[in-house]
Structure 1
Amino acid sequence: MPADLIHLVRHGEVHNPERILYGRIAGYHLSTLGHEMAAVAATSFEGRDIRRLIASPLQRTQESAKPWADLFELPIETDERIIEPHNWFEGTRMRERLRNPISWPRLINPMRPSWGESYRSVLTRMFSAIDDAWAETVSGEVVLVSHQMPIVTVARNVAGRVPFHDPRKRRCTLSSITTLQREGDRFVEVDYREPARELLENSIDLGAV
């Protein structure tokens, strides 16, 4: 019997004092607050039947998966398919880029989006990973630690909404948990929670588009 639930967990706050759009750039790790957020998220599921733990290869998601690994005594499996989308603005500050005319052609089609990996590509790889996690896990629940844009894009898709959205209005806070369940031949969202809500007020949430 396949897995009962798939939990898409976003990483905690990242140490980013320069406020760079870090995207897939290596070396961006969790802040002290980010580690606390990740621990709170894992602890909020204490007692649940978590059978597998899968994380994006980036440092911030691997670190965010660590409290889950410790609590549920599971190895962290790494899956490239749930990584942050690449984007043209990596390594820069967004406000500076927006003032530079060289950047403007990259913003011409937000429906795609033209500044990086397409929504269609993100959906294809995310659902490939989700399908495999569901089918290859014998009952119980699976945690996938990923990133904001991929999680939001999946959530919008299962809700029957278009992938295009305003990045400033995403419902996917740091260390939030979006839960999917299989119904027939598709997934549906059955829960969304923000276990680290009390820590968000003092956090900085930027670094990807």
Structure 2
Amino acid sequence: MGHTATVHLVRHGEVHNPDRVLYGRLDGFGLSELGKEMALGIAEHFVQRAEQGRPVHMLAASPLQRAQETIAPLSARLGLPVTIEERVLEAENAFEGLSSVKRQLRRPKYWPLLVNPFRPSWGEPYKQQVARVLAAVKDLSDQAIADHGEGAEVVVVSHQLPIWVTRLWAENRPLWHDPRSRECTLTSITSLHIGPGGVESVSYEEPNKELSKQALALPGA
């Protein structure tokens, strides 16, 4: 029996974004008041798990402000430092910075970017996102097992698209998808259960389900 670990990929909380900008990797988009409430809820969720004998051993997050603000309450509650993990960053997107994206896409200058939804042609290829997230997951789980032994748990705050395509890959599903179909709500937890052969199974939960119902739904945000 080889070592095992669980890496929990948590999507960040709601962002303060009154202009409904597709913010992508842009700086300066922090959590809304609702998002801060979500971050507290996630912290409470993992603290309760620890009290039930399932402690978290390591924390990591995307360098973007919304991810760092989401993990901060958990870091404070657990007294654990946060590793900045560039490989779980939001996907690159040519439409970054636009508001009312659906309306903007009617403009001919953007049409060449839309030729191949399977790749996708407007942003970072799905396979590339999966590869970098999995590389981060492997390094973090290896480190957690080395430091804390079998059954080590890691929480990583990331972004919807990289988390979702990694889950699709882990479940042997096609990476191409309709963005509206993503099961990855704000501060949801997509847990990768790691065994000797890599990712062996995936589980999903929404501890902040009631709060996420109040959120402003923006695909990909």
Bin of the TM-score, shorter chain as denominator length: over 0.9
Shift of 1:84: 0.1
1:167 aligns with 2:175: no
C-alpha separation in 2, matches of 1:106 and 1:18 = 23
Alignment of 1:1-209 (within 5 A): 4-46=5-47, 47=50, 48-93=54-99, 94-138=101-145, 139=149, 140-206=152-218, 208=220
Aligned length: 209
Q: What do the CA deviations read for 1:152-205 (whole angstroms, capped 9, x no partner)?
A: 011111101111111111000000001111233120334211011001222113
Partner AA of 2:188 in structure 1: S
Shift of 1:27: 0.2
Q: What do the CA deviations read for 1:108-167 (whole angstroms, capped 9, x no partner)?
A: 101000110001110111010000011111332100100000000111111011111111
C-alpha separation in 2, matches of 1:38 and 1:188 = 28
Matched position secondary structure for 2:10: strand
| Native 8 Å contact 1:53 1:77 kept in 2 | yes
Matched position secondary structure for 2:46: coil
TM-score computed with the length of structure 1 as normaliser: 0.95
Shift of 1:2: 5.0
Matched position secondary structure for 1:34: helix
C-alpha separation in 1, matches of 2:184 and 2:3 = 26
Partner AA of 1:7 in structure 2: H
| Native 8 Å contact 1:12 1:30 kept in 2 | yes
Structure 2 unpaired stretches of 5+: none
Structure 1 unpaired stretches of 5+: none
| Native 8 Å contact 2:171 2:202 kept in 1 | no
Partner AA of 1:54 in structure 2: A
C-alpha separation in 2, matches of 1:27 and 1:153 = 25
Return structure 1 stretches of 4+ with deviation > 3 angstroms.
none
TM-score computed with the length of structure 2 as normaliser: 0.90
| Native 8 Å contact 1:33 1:203 kept in 2 | yes
Shift of 1:3: 5.5
| Native 8 Å contact 1:3 1:135 kept in 2 | no
C-alpha separation in 2, matches of 1:31 and 1:169 = 24
Shift of 1:208: 3.5
Matched position secondary structure for 2:129: helix
Matched position secondary structure for 2:213: helix
| Native 8 Å contact 1:49 1:141 kept in 2 | yes
Q: Pick closer, same or farther for the CA change 1:191–1:208 going to 2, 3 Å.
A: closer
C-alpha separation in 2, matches of 1:29 and 1:72 = 22
| Native 8 Å contact 2:180 2:219 kept in 1 | no
